[in-house]
Structure 1
């Protein structure tokens, strides 16, 4: 692990977000194993919410898929790892309300909770399986982009 990955791991243990992720994984009866770069991989998540195929809580990355599929999708794992880093920067659990505010803002602006979500954009929309939607205000436009 790099020093940054070690720092993230320690930060997410101290801010209790990794503990929250482990508790969620346990309650959802997932299979938990050590993953790369200080991550904990939980597989076989079956609860309805959230709708995503994978999500992170602290340094715990929770997948609906089995271990081979979860570890075999390097782009999605890297996307979720960036969310783990975001937990550390947000001092843990405050990441959750900040993320939901960003998702609401994105939903209002684009009709999609990820496309204009700061956290998803920073983690990489394409790697997370999200579209990059840029909706413009409807209505006629005058020359030079000024709305009529």
Structure 2
């Protein structure tokens, strides 16, 4: 792991976003076949599958250095572009003082929803993470 990823890992533990992600993984996911709850991903990330709470509705999301997916984690490890997108969100947690990112993200998602009808197209967190890498299509602005 390179030094920048190690710093991100440490910052996300200190700012409590990774511990929150680990708590979500412990209480809201089913273990993978074979009993594993967390798999090691690239660059100090942890990946878990079987997320079963209704919110957030996204099929994959990140909290600190923990990537949570509704499907099996192994399938996510086979999608490098999506992993890069989620890794960028992990870096955003480090820059945004951890769990403070959650309300910031929600405000930006709401503004994007008003502007174009979806929460990602004009959300700076999603745009900086790479819309295409996250599987999003950029929608045009709504007419006033």
- TM-score, normalised to structure 2, is 0.91
Q: Distance in 2 between matches of 1:21 and 1:67?
A: 15
Instruction: Quote the residue 1:130 is aligned against.
Output: 136
Q: 1:88 aligns with which of 84, 94, 101?
A: 94
**Larger gyration radius, structure 1 or structure 2:** 1
**Structure 1: tracts of 5 or more residues without a match:** 139-148
Instruction: Quote the residue 1:22 is aligned against.
Output: 22
**Structure 2: tracts of 5 or more residues without a match:** 31-36
Deviation at 1:81, TM superposition (A): 0.5
Q: Distance in 1 between matches of 2:124 and 2:29?
A: 31
- TM-score, normalised to structure 1, is 0.89
Instruction: Quote the residue 2:34 is aligned against.
Output: none
C-alpha offsets along residues 54-97 of structure 1, whole Å, 9 cap, x if unaligned?
A: 10000000011213211001111110000000000001011001
Secondary structure at 1:112 match in 2:
coil
Q: Distance in 1 between matches of 2:40 and 2:143?
A: 46
Computed over aligned residues only, the root mean square deviation of the Cα atoms, in angstroms, reads: 1.1
1:79 correspondence with 2:92: no
Instruction: Quote the residue 2:7 is aligned against.
Output: 7
Secondary structure at 2:98 match in 1:
coil
